[in-house]
Structure 1
Amino acid sequence: MEQARLLEAIIETAIDGIITIDNRGNIESLNPAALKLFGYTIEEVKGKNIKMLMPEPDKSGHDGYIERYQTTREKRIIGKGREVRGLRKNGTTFPFRLAVSEVQYDDRIIYTGFIHDLSKEKEAEERLREYAAELEELVEERTKSLKKTVKALSAAKEEVSLSLEKEKELNQMKSRFVSMASHEFRTPLSSVQLSASLIEKYAHPFENESITKHVGKIKNAVGNLTTILNDFLSLERLEAGKVEPAFSFFDLVKLSEEVTEEMQLIAKQNQNIIYQHTGLTSMVNLDQNLIRNCMINLISNSIKYSGENTFIEFNTEINDHECTVTVRDNGIGIPESDQKHLFQPFFRANNIGNIPGTGLGLNIVRRYVSLMDGSLYFESVINKETTFKLSFRR
């Protein structure tokens, strides 16, 4: 009795449906899970044929199924379970897996069916199929888009290649032109410079102020043109990657004194370049030509953008950590709105008026400093002062 009550409790509380029928297919019992699945009460189904719970075509073929099941071979195969559909009281159908077993009970045979609802699994499978279809459609669209993009990129690559080839040709032409122009202009400029010096020499005994004045204008004009040529030639060499720093040890103080003396000759009236060095050593490992060019460019700018009767401070410092070169003037300054563009090629501040220049000098200085792994800083206050500082790690 105890075992019978336990078995009954197990059947009553089972998650899957359990149904029993006799050998004619009439329903003897359904557990609560099965009744819930089909939507009937036990009174509505007990004693009725199992076919009432089956939709077509399973309903018409059920008698043949029972007969086939009674053969040994079908017991081995069908008894393992098969997927069928059930018919609810409300007319709807649902999928379930049915496993049937034969039970000997009170000198007769009954059949027990175990019903596992597959509705949620089928819904999940359907969602997966829908997702897979959507994914395939998306992949197909993306593939078409990718092919289109690849085709466009290929066309763009070809166009860029042609543009690069044309640009390469133009750069070669520009390089040849700059080299040619530099050579062709330098020769007559040298002749003009020499002739102006000779005129000044031969006119000296006459002490004619007009001759001295105009000879000075010729020299200044030649100097400006020479500076322009030098700037263009330097930029062309930088753009072509022809400038490689040649590091060597040299006396920075000696170089700075030579530059100071040279630049003082072209300074304005009563414009004085004051050079000072700080440090116990004067030897550095840099490119002497590049650092000299930087010094001349910065001091030249200070001369151009400062008035007469002014001082230009030119300082060098060497300590254990770095070497610095500083040029400070009391000139027109750089407007704050222009400072962010200061190192762009051909840029000139809006307060320079008719002061000559190419707008290339500071760009060249910055690139020379970068080639020597240095840093360039500046500060400027309009109509007060401007300071440029080059810094190199030791």
Structure 2
Amino acid sequence: MNDAALLKAIIENAIDGIITISNRGLIESINPSACNLFGFSPEEVIGKNISMLMPSPDRERHDGYLERYQRTGERRIIGIGREVSGLRKDGTQFPFRLAVSEVILSDRVIYAGFINDLTREKEAEERIRNHAAQLEELVEERTLSLRKTVRALQEAKEEVSLSLEKEKELNQLKSRFVSMASHEFRTPLSSVQLSASLIEKYAVQEDHRNISKHVNKIKNAVGNLTTILNDFLSLERLEAGRVEPTFSNFDLVKLSEEITEEMQLITKQNQNIIYEHTGLTSMVRLDQNLLKNCIINLIANAIKYSGENTFIEFNTEVTSEKYIITVKDNGIGIPAADQKHLFQPFFRAHNTGNIPGTGLGLNIVRRYAGLMHGEVDFESTINKGTKFTISFLIDDEKTNYSYN
């Protein structure tokens, strides 16, 4: 086989496409691989401008490229490994790597183009990109899921911690209750038992003065027990959510005067409750029973924690914006360290000593006031007294009287 036949056989059997063109850009030869790539037969392309195998904008610019190269003539290799797009007979495009070499023959110059199809490579790259995108999306989803799981675990941890804290608080409340109840019930019951025995003794002696004295002790002891039981009942109803306020219009001054008269009966020796009202009207819209409970509780505390020969100031005020109730005493006061715990159930300040009490009253006052959309505040100085204030913002839509 001569050299020409060998060369032809190599070109015809080459895996890559090979096309030769003239110096005017006309196709002179095309091997089978190139025909398969572009979908043309040799007869359809030989003699035609190479631009027919190019999509826009290369189709329109090719002749200009070739002319500029021929004019400068600086290189023997036009391009090595340049990625371009080819135009098939059916109008579709495909990517390939193009290397163009200038071939100088004895009588003319031709250009040989070597075409390496990149379709599968590009498809593989696209699959890799898609797979990478899917992986990124999956990683993002898993990361989001992991964050949600971590957040859920954190919330669960917080809930467990809160539950443990609540359980701890509950155990403390139970301990306080047992301690308080054992003391508060034992003292009046012992007093009742002792007084009953003494009454029996004095009855034989017909000592009416001592009988009356011990009957009063029994009454006081029973009254203390009744207060304790009422506090427990109120707390139980509040905890069960069975307390619903019933709003109605009523005369605050009339109610306050009745409470003052009632509470004056249980004051200590020479203790006096001084009541005053400020405002152009005395009509309010609240739950009368809940408010009465709050005021009685505050005045009872003022009586209990103040000494003999003292004044208890009880004031009410009705403005265009608020209802305000204040109770001020000159008693033992509340230690600064205890003030932040004052409204906790079963809590009693450390300076109360043997003064009876459940530690529930102020908790009930605050919760009753809250049910009526009110707030409870206080000021206190140790050994100088305490001032409690209950305030309610007026809801004009629910108020059917004027202040004129």
TM-score scaled by structure 1? 0.59
Residues 274-331 of structure 1: CA distance to partner in whole angstroms, max 9, x if unpaired? 1111122111111110110001000001111111111100011112221111000011
What residue in structure 2 maps to residue 339 of structure 1?
Answer: 339
Give the Cα separation in 2 of the matches to 1:360 and 1:94. Answer: 90
What residue in structure 2 maps to residue 276 of structure 1?
Answer: 276
Give the Cα separation in 1 of the matches to 2:144 and 2:279. Answer: 68
Give the Cα separation in 2 of the matches to 1:70 and 1:254. Answer: 116
What residue in structure 2 maps to residue 76 of structure 1?
Answer: 38
In the alignment, structure 1 residue 372 sits paired with structure 2 residue 372: yes
**Distance change >3 Å, CA 327–CA 140, structure 1 → 2:** closer
Q: Superposition pairs for residues 157-196 of structure 1, below 5 Å?
A: none
How far off is 1:107 after superposition? 4.8
Q: Superposition pairs for residues 5-154 of structure 1, below 5 Å?
A: 61=14, 65=18, 69-70=30-31, 73-74=35-36, 76=38, 98-99=97-98, 107-111=108-112, 132=133, 135=136, 138=139, 142=143
What residue in structure 2 maps to residue 266 of structure 1?
Answer: 266
User: Does the CA contact (< 8 Å) of 2:18 and 2:112 recur in 1?
Assistant: no
**Distance change >3 Å, CA 298–CA 379, structure 1 → 2:** same
**Residue ranges of structure 2 left out of the alignment (5+ in a row):** 8-12, 21-28, 41-52, 56-79, 85-96, 117-121, 168-184, 395-404
User: Does the CA contact (< 8 Å) of 2:81 and 2:99 recur in 1?
Assistant: no
Give the Cα separation in 1 of the matches to 2:18 and 2:324. Answer: 102
User: Does the CA contact (< 8 Å) of 2:18 and 2:115 recur in 1?
Assistant: no
How far off is 1:213 after superposition? 2.9
**Distance change >3 Å, CA 298–CA 146, structure 1 → 2:** same
Residues 153-207 of structure 1: CA distance to partner in whole angstroms, max 9, x if unpaired? 9xx8xxx9xx9xxx9xxxxxxxxxxxxxxxxx9xxx9xx9xx99xx8xx98x955
Give the Cα separation in 2 of the matches to 1:144 and 1:321. Answer: 52
How far off is 1:223 after superposition? 0.9
Tell me the SS of whatever aligns to 1:273.
Answer: strand
Tell me the SS of whatever aligns to 1:338.
Answer: helix
**Distance change >3 Å, CA 152–CA 332, structure 1 → 2:** closer
**Distance change >3 Å, CA 370–CA 151, structure 1 → 2:** closer
What residue in structure 2 maps to residue 4 of structure 1?
Answer: none
How far off is 1:254 after superposition? 0.8
User: Does the CA contact (< 8 Å) of 1:322 and 1:391 recur in 2?
Assistant: yes
Q: How many residues align?
A: 283
Q: What RMSD, in angstroms, separates the aligned Cα atoms of the two structures? A: 4.8
Give the Cα separation in 2 of the matches to 1:76 and 1:127. Answer: 26
Give the Cα separation in 2 of the matches to 1:135 and 1:356. Answer: 70
What residue in structure 2 maps to residue 350 of structure 1?
Answer: 350
Tell me the SS of whatever aligns to 1:249.
Answer: strand
What residue in structure 2 maps to residue 305 of structure 1?
Answer: 305
Tell me the SS of whatever aligns to 2:280.
Answer: coil
In the alignment, structure 1 residue 386 sits paired with structure 2 residue 367: no
What residue in structure 2 maps to residue 179 of structure 1?
Answer: none
What residue in structure 2 maps to residue 46 of structure 1?
Answer: none
User: Does the CA contact (< 8 Å) of 1:272 and 1:310 recur in 2?
Assistant: yes
Give the Cα separation in 2 of the matches to 1:149 and 1:95. Answer: 51
How far off is 1:233 after superposition? 0.7
Give the Cα separation in 2 of the matches to 1:63 and 1:320. Answer: 97
Tell me the SS of whatever aligns to 1:275.
Answer: strand
Matched to 1:109, the amino acid is I
Give the Cα separation in 1 of the matches to 2:364 and 2:352. Answer: 19
Tell me the SS of whatever aligns to 1:337.
Answer: helix
Matched to 1:235, the amino acid is L
What residue in structure 1 maps to residue 243 of structure 2?
Answer: 243
Give the Cα separation in 1 of the matches to 2:247 and 2:16. Answer: 103
User: Does the CA contact (< 8 Å) of 2:19 and 2:113 recur in 1?
Assistant: no
Residues 2-57 of structure 1: CA distance to partner in whole angstroms, max 9, x if unpaired? xxxxxxxxxxxxxxxxxxxxxx9xxxxxxxxxxxxxxxxxxxxxxxx9xxxxxxxx
Q: Superposition pairs for residues 202-221 of structure 1, below 5 Å?
A: 207-208=208-209, 210-221=210-221
**Residue ranges of structure 1 left out of the alignment (5+ in a row):** 1-23, 25-48, 50-59, 82-92, 116-120, 168-184
Matched to 2:331, the amino acid is G
User: Does the CA contact (< 8 Å) of 2:19 and 2:112 recur in 1?
Assistant: no
Matched to 1:364, the amino acid is I
